[in-house]
Structure formats: structure tokens, C-alpha cells
């Protein structure tokens, strides 16, 4: 027989665990961990060429140098655990690639279509997001300190990068495993495995926090070696905040499971001793 307090703790802990799993899964699958705010594209910028380089590059710092990052710096890029994206102008009836026949807005130097008659320039074209996913070999690609061919490998950045995408997977695996243990405990009508469920949630929370810290430290080191151009500002995105929110949810779920398991065991011991006496 389970006390109502323990049953309530289990229900609340299960809800918190489910919420943290949903938040972390969405965070892992989206690309808004870090985002760049870039100045308007200049007239002499060939957006199509930058887009092709961004799509076709292998994200190898030694082979392609600064290309994997420069595209995101210049075109409002976003970076996630498994995705990298840029924003490029959509092809519309008035927007064209800049050439010598286009007029230029004196205020910011952006290319304007020849039919633009507004003194202040035509409105910005609509932007579309172009994303490229990281392959598994790319996730394990070494990182380097400088762009030279003989630059030494940056072991700290390399392992921070690997940890930032492995730790969330470990966290989700631990929560999934704890869910299986909880289902088995319900089927067996046993309260003992609840302690293991709490421990797994605690470890999952540590992995989630570690992933966020590794990602943030890796971004700081990236900007140390590959400085963004003047006028480009970076900020944390909502995907990172979702992962950060899932950490306290996992910890609260772990605390409820551990408290319920410990209290129920203590109460069961007292009842056993009373019956023996």
C-alpha cells in the first residue's frame, strides 16, 4: 500500500520528467542555440556564392578555413547541436542579385532594383532560412586554433564540441531508461526501483547542464580564434534556454523520486518492526 504523499510525489515527478524530456528533445532538434545579428548585406556581396559555399563546405576548419563560420557571421546565422543555418533573400519579382545596373541606397549601400523610385530605398527583401545538418563524422572533426595548414589541434574545443552533442543524448537515454524501470516497477508493484529512477534523473540533469556549459564555453573559444566582423552581434537562442530549463525540471523530478523512495523505505521499515514487536 502506497501512501498518498508518495503517490503524489511520483505523479508530480513523472510530469516534470516528461516536460524536461520534451524541452530537451526540442532543444536538441532545433538550431537556435546561438544566433548572430548581422548588418544589412552590402551591394557588392554575392549572396548566392556565399550560400553555395555554406551548403557545400564540409565544416572542416583546416580545409575550408573560416568559411564555415564567416557565412553565419555575415548572413544572420544560427548554430545548434546538429544544424547550422543562414538567412538569405528570397527570390521575388523585384529582388535580384546585385550588379552594375542596380542603384545603391546612399544610407547603407544596399543594392536596389532599377525600378525602385523611393528616395529612402526599397524595403528589404523577405528572408528565407537555409540550413545544413552536421553529419556524425563532422561532429568528431578536430578543431584548430588558427587557419594555418600546420596549426595545432585545439583539444579543448574539440572535446567541448563532442561533449555538447553527446551529453544531451546521454541525458535523454538516462530518462528513457528510468521510464522503463518505472514501468517495470509499476507492473511488479514494487517501490524499490524508484530510488534508481531518481538517481538516473539526477545524472541526466548533470548531463544536460554539462551540455549547456560545454556549448557556451565552445562558443567563447570560437570567438577568441575566429572573431566576428565589426557590427555582428551574437546572443544565446531559445533552444539553449529550453535545454537550460530542462535541467532544474530533471533535478526536481530526481528530488521527488529520491524523497519518495527514501521515505517509503523508512516507513516500511518502521511498520515491519512494529509488526514484529
Q: How far apart are CA 2 and CA 9, in angstroms?
A: 11
Q: How many CB atoms lie within 10 A of CB 101?
A: 9
277: pLDDT strictly greater than 60: no
H/E stretch holding 18: helix 4-29
Element (H, E) at 63: helix 61-64
4-32+137-271: in CATH 1.20.140.150: yes
Residue 98 DSSP label:
-
User: For the segment 180-195, what is each residue's pLDDT rounded down to a tens digit?
Assistant: 998 887 777 776 788 8
Contact assessment for residue 52 and residue 64, using Cβ atoms and an 8 Å cutoff: no
Closest CA to 256 of 189, 205, 218, 215: 205
Residue whose C-alpha cell is 545548434: 80
Evaluate if residue 268 carries a pLDDT over 70. no
**Nearest CA-CA partner of 164 in 240, 227, 236, 228:** 240
**Is the pLDDT at 95 greater than 50, yes or no?**
no
More confident residue, 180 or 275: 180
Tens of pLDDT, residues 196-227 = 999 999 999 999 999 999 999 999 988 888 88
Give residue 244's pLDDT.
94
- Comparing 221 with 43, the larger pLDDT belongs to 221
pLDDT above 80: residue 90: no
Residues 10 and 7: their CA atoms lie apart, in Å, by: 5
Please state the domain extents for the chain: 4-32+137-271
Choose among 243, 242, 181: nearest CA to 207: 243
Query: What is the maximal distance between C-alpha atoms in the chain?
Result: 99
What single string gives the DSSP state of each residue in 219-255?
Answer: HHHHHHHSPPPTT-EEEE-HHHHHHHHHHHHHHHHHH
Quick one: pLDDT at residue 229?
A: 83
Q: Contact at 8 Å (CB) between 52 and 67?
A: no
**Do residues 77 and 66 touch, judged by C-beta distance below 8 A?**
no
Amino acid at each position: 500500500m502506497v501512501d498518498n504523499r508518495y503517490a503524489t510525489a511520483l505523479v508530480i515527478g513523472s510530469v516534470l520528467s516528461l516536460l524536461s524530456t520534451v524541452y530537451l528533445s526540442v532543444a536538441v532538434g532545433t538550431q537556435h542555440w546561438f544566433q548572430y545579428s548581422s548588418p544589412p548585406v552590402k551591394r557588392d556581396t554575392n549572396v548566392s556564392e556565399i550560400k553555395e559555399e555554406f551548403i557545400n563546405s564540409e565544416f572542416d576548419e583546416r580545409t575550408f578555413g573560416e568559411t564555415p563560420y564567416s557565412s553565419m557571421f555575415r548572413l544572420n546565422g544560427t548554430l545548434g547541436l546538429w544544424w547550422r543555418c543562414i538567412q538569405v533573400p528570397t527570390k521575388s519579382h523585384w529582388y535580384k542579385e546585385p550588379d552594375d545596373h542596380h542603384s545603391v541606397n546612399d544610407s547603407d549601400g544596399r543594392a536596389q532594383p532599377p525600378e525602385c523610385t523611393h528616395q529612402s530605398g526599397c524595403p528589404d527583401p523577405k528572408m528565407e532560412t537555409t540550413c545544413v545538418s552536421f553529419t556524425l563524422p563532422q561532429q568528431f572533426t578536430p578543431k584548430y586554433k588558427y587557419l594555418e595548414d600546420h596549426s595545432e589541434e585545439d583539444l579543448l574545443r574539440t572535446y567541448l564540441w563532442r561533449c555538447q552533442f553527446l551529453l544531451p543524448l546521454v541525458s535523454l537515454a538516462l530518462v528513457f531508461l528510468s521510464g522503463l524501470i518505472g514501468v517495470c516497477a509499476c507492473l511488479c508493484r514494487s517501490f524499490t526501483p524508484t530510488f534508481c529512477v531518481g538517481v538516473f534523473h539526477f545524472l541526466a540533469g548533470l548531463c544536460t547542464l554539462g551540455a549547456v556549459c560545454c556549448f557556451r564555453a565552445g562558443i567563447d573559444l570560437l570567438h577568441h580564434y575566429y572573431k566576428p566582423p565589426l557590427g555582428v552581434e551574437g546572443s544565446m537562442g531559445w533552444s539553449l534556454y529550453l535545454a537550460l530549463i530542462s535541467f532544474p525540471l530533471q533535478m526536481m523530478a530526481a528530488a521527488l523520486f529520491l524523497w519518495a523512495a527514501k521515505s517509503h523505505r523508512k516507513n516500511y521499515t518502521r511498520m515491519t518492526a512494529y509488526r514484529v514487536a
